[in-house]
Structure 1
Amino acid sequence: MEGSEDLNTQLSTGSLKTERIAIIIIILFHTVGIIGFNLPGIDSLFLDIVPWHLLLMAAVIIWSHNRPDAKFGLFALLLFMLGFSAELIGVHTGWLFGSYTYGKTLGIKLFNVPLMIGVNWFLLIYATGVLMQRSRVKNVYARILVGALLLVLLDILIEPVAIHFDYWHWTDGAIPIKNYFCWFAVSGLMLFIFEKFKFPPQSKAAPVLLLMEFVFFMILGLVN
Structure 2
Amino acid sequence: MKSERVVAGIDIGGDRKGNHLVILRGTEIVCNISKEPPAHMLEKCLQFEVAAVGIDAPCLWRIGEAGRQAEKELARQRIFSFATPTRELALASQSGFYEWMFNGERVYQAFASHFPLFTHRGEVNGRVCFETFPHAITTALLKTEAASAKKKRTQRREVLKDAGIEAASLRSIDEVDAALCALSAHYLQEGKVVTYGDELGGFIVVPAQLDGSRTK
> TM-score of the superposition, structure 1-length normalised?
0.28
Say which structure is richer in strand: 2
Say which structure is richer in helix: 1
Pair member with larger Rg: 1
